[in-house]
A and B are shown apart, each in its own frame.
Chain A
Amino acid sequence: GAGVSQSPSNKVTEKGKDVELRCDPISGHTALYWYRQSLGQGLEFLIYFQGNSAPDKSGLPSDRFSAERTGGSVSTLTIQRTQQEDSAVYLCASSLGGQALSSPQHFGDGTRLSIL
């Protein structure tokens, strides 16, 4: 597609359940990022992929959070044993990679996650 696609757009689940969020980046973009945006907050960096590898996972809040990317394309962010504080909008972005100076990020519309 023309842009970054995220699914689902909304997810409501009960506390303690696992959730999987999907991101389909722009074709040819080697860099992929996940961010979390909580109500009234800025963007919290979670993880960065270059190709299939994740050189920076420093933003993942706990070991309940994990992410993978396969085929240098689609990425999934998994949250296990969800807690209410996980409620937020999860944004995915992709870019051409290489030098970030000349490679702006392109964002998806996000997944709004609500934990009951």
Chain B
Amino acid sequence: GNSVTQMEGPVTLSEEAFLTINCTYTATGYPSLFWYVQYPGEGLQLLLKATKADDKGSNKGFEATYRKETTSFHLEKGSVQVSDSAVYFCAQTSGTYKYIFGTGTRLKVLA
């Protein structure tokens, strides 16, 4: 069945470090892919999305490219800030109502 696999956390980085959070998926067909972020004490917010192969989603300095050949959607940011500390969820949907979320990766950025 369809699934999403994320790298396990927590990920701890110093401010201004480069961030990569890996996400791979299995799906029949061509899903849309999403990254959601959950700041402490809040609900999930959509961070970025990509709806077809080779699309790049970007927002707030974060980027992720839909790679069909490697079934991946890795999240990257060139220079993280303390305010980026949160839990990041990768998700997919394949055109029905159903969203499939990864287990989340906690990011902690130290000043």
Contact = CB atoms under 8 A, between A and B. Distances in A.
Interface of A: 4, 6, 31, 33, 41-43, 45, 48, 50, 55-56, 91, 93, 97, 99-102, 104-110
A108 B104 CA distance: 17
B96 interface: yes
Interface string B72-111: 0000000000000000010001111111011110000000
A106 B46 contact: yes
Contacts of A109: 41-43
A48 B46 contact: no
Give the dominant DSSP class at B's interface: loop
A93 to B, nearest CB: 8
Contact of B89 (A31, A43, A100, A108): A43
17 contacts: A31-B97, A45-B99, A48-B97, A50-B97, A56-B97, A93-B43, A93-B44, A100-B32, A100-B93, A100-B94, A100-B98, A100-B99, A101-B32, A101-B93, A107-B44, A107-B45, A109-B43
B43 A104 contact: no
A56 B97 CA distance: 10
Contacts of B43: 4, 6, 91, 93, 107-110
A55 B101 CA distance: 20
